[in-house]
Structure 1
């Protein structure tokens, strides 16, 4: 049953990511190479890809590098934190300025609402005690830090920023770094909340997750 859930999840998330790639290519406003780079400049895309890789590694029991990182302690809690940030930032900061329709609306809801909720439920049902230590998830903070550095440095030279709240050229350095501070605070808050809630769960939940 658990394997079927992971397989279904991997299919859905891969579908959403690839469909968004298709939509961005056919509606591109720049060259192919630049469009591909911009596609992978979105935290939403990178994080949903992480989710897809996680479920793929679990469903097919892939344990060799690079899939081995998804079997390390703290991986599930860290990825759940990141995808929840995707969902919350979208609902709070982006939904009001972006009204997609048709197929784009479906893909947007998958990437920003359905997948985060799905991962949260999966985490609730499968998180294990060893996944609930700050030390085991600390190295994952390199992911958002490297992402922010990449976006800001590339944006400085290219003029493209994937999100309005990171657009230094429009809102300035002060507001941008205030927004980054809020995002980091949100990351730490969600992580602490998950650790707190996870420790309240019955200890038999997720006990098999370290053997998958």
Structure 2
């Protein structure tokens, strides 16, 4: 499989996950007597959804418009690595913190597996096979962390407005701000460590083995 076919395949899986979850969110909202707009608001509250959507766009744009400014930007190894770390933290956080919280069935199980396992793992494979290694700066993960930090600010402001938080570990109503921020700092540290691992791997792949 060449790189373009691999990118297309991973993009299709990512789009399948986000679109399936959108349909399920709309169905759930309407089943509970709420509007489609309420379903979209709930859907867009999750880091999982937003990051999978980011992955889908970042993979698709270079395929559709490779010579556009956005297409070239998404093809940069640093940007591709930032997206990869972000989607990997989705899978890791779900596996460690959330998979025991509920037991999805049917299509919701399929959406969960796609969003939390299939797309993160495929993005990692894509990063390894299709993203050229480069000597990224060790401080690069600090810039990549702007994405989860922006989400945290968004989730807290959204939660304050709606009195509903998407994840139990940032539920200010139940935990208070000190514990919420402590939990967030722990996840941020994991993000930075994971990003540093990708930087180290990328740099090591450029270094010839000394015999």
Q: Return the TM-score normalized by structure 1.
A: 0.88
Gapped regions of structure 1 (runs ≥ 5): 205-212
**Residue 138 and residue 67 in structure 1: after superposition, are their counterparts in 2 closer, same or farther (change >3 A)?**
farther
Deviates more, 1:102-111 or 1:125-134: 125-134
What are the within-5 Å matches in structure 2 for residues 1-212 of structure 1? Answer: 1-28=2-29, 29=32, 30-130=34-134, 132-134=136-138, 138-201=142-205
Q: Return the TM-score normalized by structure 2.
A: 0.88
- Paired residue total: 204
Following the alignment from structure 1 to structure 2, what is the Cα–Cα distance between the partners of residues 192 and 137?
6
- Measured against aligned partners, the alpha-carbon deviations of 1:54-112 in whole angstroms (never above 9, x if no partner) come to 21123334343544431334011111100110000000000001210111111110100
**Residue 122 and residue 137 in structure 1: after superposition, are their counterparts in 2 closer, same or farther (change >3 A)?**
same
Aligned 8 A contact 1:73 1:136 in 2: no
Deviates more, 1:50-59 or 1:165-174: 50-59
Root-mean-square deviation (CA), in Å?
A: 2.0
- Measured against aligned partners, the alpha-carbon deviations of 1:132-181 in whole angstroms (never above 9, x if no partner) come to 33455543322211111011011112111111111000111121111110
**Secondary structure class of the residue paired with 1:100:** coil
Gapped regions of structure 2 (runs ≥ 5): none
**Secondary structure class of the residue paired with 2:57:** helix
